[in-house]
Amino acid sequence: MDLIMSAAVNKEKTLTQKTAVEKVTEYIKTKIIYKELKPNDKIPTETELCELLNVSRSSVREALKVLEAINIIQIRRGDGTYISEPEDISITQSLLFKMILTNMQLKELVDFREQMEVAVLKLAIANATKEDIKILSKNQEAFLECIEKNPDDYETLHTLDLNFHKTLAASTKNKLMEEIYLFSLEIFSPMILENYALGQIKGEDKIPTGDNHRILIEAIENRDFYAGIYGVKLALNIWKKWVNKKENIEGDNAKEE
């Protein structure tokens, strides 16, 4: 009976502490949302948070550890605790590792990318400036030149490809969409590199690879969503072909084992 009572008391203490920790994290997040705390602002001290929220010092410290772990705050020893600058915060890293560790299927990732490409294209067509289009066009020129003169330089092709899509993301003029799209690029970056290393631009996919960025640029320039969708489909057809090939190879290897 004593053991049961002890377990119940410990459980209640844990729940209470968890609630107190959440109280602190929610307080700071709310202050950020309402712009009462901005990048590089110093947050209240541990003592002030204890008094303000009526929680224990251990709960405050635990909450600050949680916020520091996701880079929302920076604890500067001997100085205080500050709200991080936006570029120091990565909300996508934990999600990226979760997706990797849960063994997400390639088809799911391609489906996700398709939805992201369409959403970004739609906003880019609506919001891209002449300067954005100019940068995209210069990138395309360099990309085509590399395909013709240095088709084995897959690292440069990979970099140019990613830079094109980063510019595309910026042209949406939507910071949240840009962040999520860059996250999707982070997932696909190793696969894009592998594709180029395997000679994507040497075989039958050479022309579609060179064309799809051009089609997207023209669609953005002409504000033509349907032409842009064609460019997205062209790129995804290459991806789907690669996924099918990879799944077949993995299936054959599994049979041999």
Q: What is the pLDDT of residues 62-100, one digit of tens each?
A: 999 988 887 889 989 889 999 988 777 665 666 666 665
- Measured at the alpha carbon of residue 246, what is the angle toward residues 257 and 249, in degrees to the nearest 5? 30
Residue 190 shares a structural domain with residue 217: yes
Q: How far apart are CA 179 and CA 170, in angstroms?
A: 9
CATH number at residue 58: 1.10.10.10
Q: How far apart are CA 102 and CA 105, in angstroms?
A: 9
- Position 1 in a domain: no
- Position 11 in a domain: no
Domain residues for 44? 17-88
Residue 202 shares a structural domain with residue 232: yes
Q: Which two tokens stand for residue 25?
A: 């994290």
Listed in order, strand segments (DSSP E) in 25-103 are 73-76, 80-83
Residue 144 shares a structural domain with residue 212: yes
* pLDDT band for position 57 (cuts 50, 70, 90): very high
83 Cβ contact partners less than 8 Å away, ≥ 6 residues apart: 32, 37, 38, 39, 40, 41, 43, 72, 73, 74
Length of the chain equals 257
How many structural domains compose the chain? 2
- Can you tell me which residue has the tokens 């001290």? 45
Q: What amino acid occupies position 208?
A: P
User: Which of 88, 108, 137 is the last residue before a domain boundary?
Assistant: 88
Check pLDDT > 90 for residue 127: yes
Mean pLDDT of 40-58: 94
Percent helix, strand, coil in the chain, to 5, is: 75, 5, 20
| Other CB atoms within 10 A of residue 126 CB | 14
- Position 2 in a domain: no
User: Which of 68, 88, 108 is the last residue before a domain boundary?
Assistant: 88
Decide: 157 and 197 in contact? Cβ < 8 Å. Answer: no
Residue 148 shares a structural domain with residue 212: yes
Residue 120 shares a structural domain with residue 226: yes
CATH number at residue 250: 1.20.120.530
8-state DSSP, 200: T
pLDDT at 7: 42
Q: Tell me the pLDDT tens digit for each residue of 156-199.
A: 999 999 999 999 999 999 999 998 898 888 888 888 888 888 77
What is the pTM assigned to this prediction? Answer: 0.66
- Position 120 in a domain: yes
* pLDDT band for position 33 (cuts 50, 70, 90): confident
Residue 247 shares a structural domain with residue 142: yes
Q: Which two tokens stand for residue 257?
A: 């084992």
* pLDDT band for position 205 (cuts 50, 70, 90): low
pLDDT at 115: 92
